[in-house]
Amino acid sequence: MSEALRTDLYQLTMMQAYWKSGHNPEATFDYFVRKIPSGPYLVTAGLNFFLDYIENLRFEDDDIKYLETQGFDHEFLFYLRNFTFTGDIFAMLEGSIAFPIEPIIRVTAPIMEAQLIETFLLNKMNFSSLIATKASRIVHAAKGRSIAEFGLRRAQGDGYLEATRATYIGGCASTSNVMAGKILGIPVSGTMAHSFVTSFDHEIDSYRAYADVFPKRCFLLIDTYDTIEGARKAVIVGKELEERGEKLLGVRLDSGDLCELSKQVRRILDEAGLSYVKIVASGDLNEWKIEELIDHGARIDMFGVGTELITGRPNPALDGIYKLSDVVEQGEHLPKMKLSEETVKSTLPGKKKVWRVIEKGIFVKDIISLDDEIMDNAKPLLEQIVKNGRIICKRPSLDMIRQRAALDLASLVDKYKKLDQAAVYPVEFSQKLADLRESIVEKIKRDEITGKS
């Protein structure tokens, strides 16, 4: 199925205007983020979807027929019948850590082609990167304890699979999403619902029924009626499992004072010789609640996080943007930028690279330079992934992407990962870029704002 119409109408109307006017120069666009919600860093995700889109981008007969009904020019539609992407794309590899302003993806192509792919790129990169970053914050707050993603029922419609994939890139250990387990190979996890417990005449009957069916992966939900009594009944079932050569893996708390209850439940389990049984906590958790629980000494081994993670709450969207930075006319590069009364909305001109200074395995600073510059003792972050419309990069597995994110996050010192009032990671401009920006600003003010030539 074609994804060509997964775009905004104005991309197509601009394409027809470019085509009709014969204005189709080579253009470079940058995808970047002005401001990152709830922190200074971004875990990039979604690139694999974008590559699939580029690889299969075409207009099918039913797409053309629909566009006919929207009043598009017949000759332009004839052009679309043979449309393919022919440009070059450079990108930070999926799972990389990025910071505000710096280009994450750089697209160079005839402007009609570069314009068309904007909406899909933004849709995939913004959503996946938002959720991957949220997951990384939750994982960091857990201080080494496992995070299971439990968000399928609260995910935004068909975005559930992309969201679960992003949580795994961000460091979650497992998901309740069985479809994600099948399609993506993410480990699946889960216990039982309160309805399972209440459907039996007695709580302990539900525990025994579950243990009989799943003796090797038995987790019991113990807060349906009274958590402490539930823990004592779990001990009984745990001992019964031991007699059969099995072990109770864990108990789950889903309500109440999780900190105090976890301490009491831990004591009950330990006194019964079940110190190996893990305590899992769930119930409207987020990174701040998890950090508070741990700071107060909660005896929780694993956390299940649903709504707050899968929706990116409290930030429902990532404000990633795609802006023109360079046009080639008659062989000459003409740097472009947006100038705004709001300084934060101004953009950086020219084709650019991003470099990272790393010392003893620790990220020190990033530098944005022009394309023809080399920054000594710095690692280039943009790699070519598409050349002349063909994908030329290796497609890493999801586990490899997840590992890249983990390594990058381990190289970022903790002051940049604080949940509140985190330090701002230094991103600098090369002198040539700074000079170019200043000269372009002056030119815009002279030629476009004051009206002088």
Nearest to residue 312, comparing CAs of 95, 97, 126, 134? 134
pLDDT at residue 345, rounded to an integer: 67
Whole-angstrom distance, CA of residue 102 vs CA of residue 369:
10
> Chain-centre distance of CA 419, in angstroms?
17
Whole-angstrom distance, CA of residue 107 vs CA of residue 173:
33
Structural contact between residues 201 and 172, judged by C-beta atoms closer than 8 angstroms: no
| pLDDT of 453 strictly over 60 | no
The Cβ-side half-sphere exposure at 55, using a 13 Å CA radius, reads 11
> Chain-centre distance of CA 38, in angstroms?
14
pTM: predicted TM-score of the whole model, two decimal places: 0.95
Number of Cβ within a 10 Å radius of residue 273:
12
Q: Which residues contact 293 (CB under 8 A, 6 or more apart)?
A: 258, 259, 262, 281, 300
pLDDT at residue 342, rounded to an integer: 55
pLDDT at residue 338, rounded to an integer: 84
| pLDDT of 452 strictly over 70 | no
Structural contact between residues 339 and 333, judged by C-beta atoms closer than 8 angstroms: no
Nearest to residue 4, comparing CAs of 70, 84, 111? 84
Residue 83's alpha-carbon distances to 57, 140, 294, in angstroms, are 8, 45, 55
Structural contact between residues 299 and 253, judged by C-beta atoms closer than 8 angstroms: no
The residue-averaged pLDDT of 345-364 equals 94
Whole-angstrom distance, CA of residue 346 vs CA of residue 84:
31
Structural contact between residues 319 and 230, judged by C-beta atoms closer than 8 angstroms: no
The Cβ-side half-sphere exposure at 168, using a 13 Å CA radius, reads 23
Helix ranges, 355-450 (H): 398-410, 431-444
Q: pLDDT tens across 77-133, in order?
A: 999 999 999 999 999 999 999 999 999 999 999 999 999 999 999 999 999 999 999
Q: Which residue has the tokens 């906590």?
A: 281
Q: Counting beta carbons within 10 angstroms of the beta carbon of residue 361, is it exposed (0 to 12), middle (13 to 18) or buried (19 or more)?
A: exposed
| pLDDT of 336 strictly over 70 | yes
Whole-angstrom distance, CA of residue 33 vs CA of residue 125:
10
pLDDT at residue 120, rounded to an integer: 98
Structural contact between residues 92 and 4, judged by C-beta atoms closer than 8 angstroms: no
Residue 222's alpha-carbon distances to 251, 304, 345, in angstroms, are 7, 15, 51
The architecture that CATH gives domain 9-131+315-449 is: Alpha-Beta Barrel (3.20)
Nearest to residue 156, comparing CAs of 147, 164, 144, 146? 164
3-state SS assignment for residue 334: strand
| pLDDT of 32 strictly over 70 | yes
Whole-angstrom distance, CA of residue 112 vs CA of residue 391:
19
- Percent of all residues in the chain with a pLDDT value above 90, rounded to a whole number: 92
* Mean pLDDT taken over the chain: 95
β-strands 219-221, 97-98 pairing? unpaired
Q: Which residue has the tokens 């979807």?
A: 49
Q: pLDDT tens across 278-316, in order?
A: 999 999 999 999 999 999 999 999 999 999 999 999 998
Q: pLDDT tens across 168-220, in order?
A: 999 999 999 999 999 999 999 998 999 999 999 999 999 999 999 999 999 99
Q: pLDDT tens across 215-262, in order?
A: 999 999 999 999 999 999 999 999 999 999 999 999 999 999 999 999
